[in-house]
């Protein structure tokens, strides 16, 4: 499969998974967190499909299109393992959805990163909260969810906080 086809499927998987997660949390109050703001594409989609939720974003630095820049008081900028504990101290148990898009292209490094972040991610989630992630997030308090129709397993991952 060409990188163009692969890019299309990746973006479609993100779209369908985020929209599925938004439906799943429709009766759950709480904020949304995006780890890996990047160019702001999925952040822009999240604020479109969840206009009434507070959305917090996490990234090393802002590299986003100016139209997609989140409010300053909802950004956690810097090393993930410094900002994540700060977020836990402010927002533990308050996230209805977490979107994780922090894969680095280096498979082993990405797996290590997610494994190290998993306990704090779980602390941030409400019971019933949903994780959408480019990498699988393994934790005893997370149960994998079936992906929406048309999304190939492995392309994206969804789980619910037990």
Q: Which of 65, 90, 107, 116 binds a second copy (CB under 8 A)?
A: 65
Q: Which of 7, 71, 78, 85 binds a second copy (CB under 8 A)?
A: 7
Q: How far is CA 94 from CA 9, 56, 115, in A?
A: 31, 11, 21
| Interior/surface letters 4-20, b for 16+ CB within 10 angstroms, e for the rest | eeeeebeeebbbbbbbb
Question: Residue 78 — left, alpha, or beta (φ > 0 → left; ψ -120 to 50 → alpha)?
Answer: left
Indicate the residue among 18 and 84 with the shorter CB distance to a second copy.
18
By CB under 8 A, how many residues form the interface with a second copy? Answer: 23
Euclidean distance between CA atoms 80 and 71, whole angstroms: 19
Residue pointed to by tokens 């979107």: 99
User: Does residue 107 interact with a second copy by CB under 8 A?
Assistant: no
Indicate the residue among 105 and 140 with the shorter CB distance to a second copy.
105
Nearest distance, CB of residue 98 and a second copy, angstroms: 17
Q: Which stretch binds a second copy (CB under 8 A): 10-18, 29-37, 122-130, 150-158?
A: 10-18
Residue 151 tokens, joined:
């999304």
Residues within the interface to a second copy (CB under 8 A): 2-5, 7-8, 11-12, 14-15, 18, 39-42, 44-45, 47-49, 65, 67-68
């Amino acid at each position: 499969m060409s990188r163009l086809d692969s890019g299309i499927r990746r973006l479609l998987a993100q779209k369908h998974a985020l929209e599925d997660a938004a439906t799943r949390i429709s009766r759950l109050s709480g904020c949304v967190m995006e780890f890996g703001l990047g160019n702001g594409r999925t952040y822009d989609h999240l604020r479109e499909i969840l206009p009434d939720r507070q959305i917090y974003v996490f990234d090393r630095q802002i590299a986003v299109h100016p139209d997609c820049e989140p409010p300053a008081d909802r950004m956690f900028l810097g090393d993930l393992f410094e900002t994540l504990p700060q977020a836990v101290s402010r927002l533990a148990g308050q996230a209805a959805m977490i979107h994780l898009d922090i894969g680095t292209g280096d498979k082993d490094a990405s797996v290590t990163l997610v494994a190290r972040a998993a306990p704090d991610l779980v602390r941030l989630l409400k019971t019933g909260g949903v994780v959408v992630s480019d990498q699988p997030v393994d934790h005893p308090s997370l149960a994998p969810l079936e992906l929406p129709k048309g999304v190939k397993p492995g392309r994206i991952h969804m789980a619910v906080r037990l």
